[in-house]
């Protein structure tokens, strides 16, 4: 029990891990106000069930294709740079979705949203880089638990909003919240993610390899 508490303290006191965890939790909180009801929104904008499948396939395929390049770019240019670029990209899709009047317009936002996932390898790497070996699994566990908790809270709230306001208006409100919460996400990642610990970690690894 003492070891568990010490591990949690190590994770919670780590600036990089907390910045990534808090910001990803905010993104999940906003996204899952509307994402589970995405199909209904597409139908309301004149789409069909085939259109729902097409948009989902486009986003899944684009997400798949950017993961390896995202990892390579992160290793070459730095984790923080890629995370900030992806965070800015994440600002665009909710705006496109919010002001779309036909389902075909959503395709553009879907592609940009998938491109924004290129930071996923970088965020995982930051957690691994920022924690000592004996606390990495705990760090990933705390990170996953935090944003899953956001999802658990967000989905029923989103359903309630849609029941009260209707599919289109309710989804648009959820999208507006996504846009608003992207601003503190970018700010926190810009101000709080630090290279200092990462450089120290890389130096120690280099010395061990030598």
For the chain, percent of residues with pLDDT exceeding 90: 65
| pLDDT tens digits for range 123-152 | 989 888 888 888 888 888 888 888 899 999
| pLDDT tens digits for range 86-112 | 999 999 999 999 999 999 999 999 999
The packing angle between helices 79-89 and 49-77, to 10°, is 150
Q: How far is CA 37 from the centre of its chain?
A: 18
Global pTM value? 0.83
Q: What is the DSSP string of 28-75?
A: HHHHTTTGGGHHHHHHHTT--HHHHHHHHHHHHHHHHHHHHHHHHHHH
Distance in angstroms (rounded) separating the CA atoms of residues 68 and 143:
22
| Phi, psi angles (nearest 5°) of residue 132 | -65, 155
Residue 194: left (phi > 0), alpha (psi -120 to 50), or beta?
A: beta
């Amino acid at each position: 029990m003492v070891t568990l508490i010490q591990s949690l303290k190590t994770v919670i006191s780590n600036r990089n891990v907390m910045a990534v965890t808090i910001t990803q939790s905010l993104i999940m909180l906003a996204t899952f106000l509307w994402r589970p009801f995405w199909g209904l929104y597409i139908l309301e904008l004149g789409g069909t069930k085939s259109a729902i499948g097409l948009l989902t396939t486009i986003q899944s395929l684009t997400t798949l294709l950017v993961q390896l390049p995202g990892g390579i770019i992160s290793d070459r240019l730095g984790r923080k740079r890629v995370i900030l670029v992806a965070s800015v990209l994440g600002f665009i899709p909710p705006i496109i979705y919010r002001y779309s009047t036909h389902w075909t317009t959503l395709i553009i936002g879907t592609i940009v949203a998938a491109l924004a996932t290129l930071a996923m390898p970088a965020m995982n790497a930051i957690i691994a880089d920022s924690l000592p070996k004996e606390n990495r699994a705990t760090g990933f566990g705390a990170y996953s638990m935090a944003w899953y908790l956001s999802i658990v809270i967000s989905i029923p709230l989103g359903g309630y909003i849609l029941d009260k306001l209707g599919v289109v208006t309710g989804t648009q409100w959820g999208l507006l919240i996504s846009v608003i919460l992207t601003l503190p996400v970018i700010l926190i990642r810009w101000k709080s993610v630090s290279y200092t610990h990462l450089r120290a970690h890389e130096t120690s690894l280099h010395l061990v390899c030598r």
